[in-house]
Amino acid sequence: MRDVIAAIVALVSLAWLLAIVASPVLPAPLAAAVYLIGSHICHQHPDRSFHLFGAQLAVCARCTGIYAGALVGAAMGPWVWPQAALAVGARGLLIAGAMPTAVTWSSEWAGVWAWSNVGRAVAGLPLGIAVGLVVMRTVATVHYVGCAPRPPIASNPPSIPI
């Protein structure tokens, strides 16, 4: 069952990334839906977004990198997670994955460095990979049959009859 769920998560990740990249060339109603969803999760600044055929993608370059990384993390999760978990755990993996994004965002915010869209996307990849790995690890524990059964709760009659 969990392999099916893992495959569904990976396919949904792939479908979303394809929708983002294809958004400029999709039929208008479908493109409108993708751009609407993108507007709820991303600022969609034109100067910080990739363009295809003269039209902006549904999310910014950084988000595109994050979603591409999430697909990679979801696809390789079953094979990579045990080694990543032993090294740093889920929280450490997410913190490490977020560092390049934090560096690019904070340096842009402080006015120290203006990153290109390619730089933003590349910095988003590790965060996406980390999120994909953590999501796949979570999926791997769904319906886990190896969990110890809960001990029955003993009845606790009142000490003084009512």
Tokens representing 109 are 């915010």
**If you average pLDDT over residues 51-61, what whole number do you get?**
96
Query: In the prediction, which pLDDT does 114 show?
Result: 92
Distance of alpha carbon 20 from alpha carbon 63, whole angstroms? 10
pLDDT in tens, 72-99: 998 887 677 666 566 778 899 899 999 9
Query: In the prediction, which pLDDT does 152 show?
Result: 67
Give the residue with greater pLDDT, 100 vs 82.
100
For the chain, the domains span 8-140
Tokens representing 16 are 């979303």
Distance of alpha carbon 117 from alpha carbon 146, whole angstroms? 45
Nearest partner of 45 among 31, 63, 65, judged by Cα: 63
User: pLDDT band at residue 7, thresholds of 50, 70 and 90?
Assistant: confident
Helices 2-22 and 28-41 cross at an angle (nearest 10°) of 110
Beta carbons of 9 and 73 less than 8 angstroms apart: no
